[in-house]
Amino acid sequence: MVYGPNVKANFLILMKAIYNNIPLPFKKLSEKRSYMYIENLTDAILLILKKNHFIGKTYEISDNCMITNEKLVRFMADALGKKAKLFYLNPKLINLMLIILGKRELFNKIMKEFIVTNKEFISDTGWKPPYHYGEGIKKTCLWYKRTFRIKKSCSYEIYKMVK
């Protein structure tokens, strides 16, 4: 999952939930996920564009760090100046609830392990992500806090002008 300022979809929903102190069912879950900070992705793409010998190759890349949803929520909460509100709910029950709500595919997107390895890309290029995932998450949360404050503190017309 790619994240960074102006992120959309599930990552943005997660940030909103944390910022609004909504309890999340990620406590004690061990499934790990790989993430990719947008500036790391940009750096990797620029490296490939500068060298011609990667034509026709396919790589999987990430921030080179696998973290659980619980750890991600705790880290994001800290970056947002909030306390992580986590509780345990059996993943089978979460899956059942999502099926009932017609959101079956959401379970795989947020609860299943998803690991991307950089081994081949690093071996071929010597690339290292210039930003640690923690730095990327902090920058993303800072963007969210600034955007949220602007939306809350000015009228819609002024917000649209500065956006």
Q: What is the pLDDT of residues 108-141, one digit of tens each?
A: 777 778 888 889 999 988 999 999 999 999 999 9
Choice between 101 and 106, residue whose per-residue pLDDT is larger: 101
pLDDT for the residue 21: 93
Backbone dihedral angles phi then psi of residue 37, each to the nearest 5 degrees: -70, 135
pLDDT interval class at 150 (50, 70, 90): low
- Total domains in the chain come to 1
Q: What is the pLDDT of residues 68-99, one digit of tens each?
A: 989 999 999 999 999 999 999 888 898 898 88
pLDDT for the residue 18: 94
Q: What is the pTM of this model?
A: 0.81
Q: What is the pLDDT of residues 11-32, one digit of tens each?
A: 898 999 999 999 998 898 888 9
CATH of the domain at 136: 3.90.25.10
pLDDT interval class at 9 (50, 70, 90): confident
pLDDT for the residue 158: 45
pLDDT for the residue 39: 97
pLDDT for the residue 161: 47
Structural domain harbouring 123:
2-162
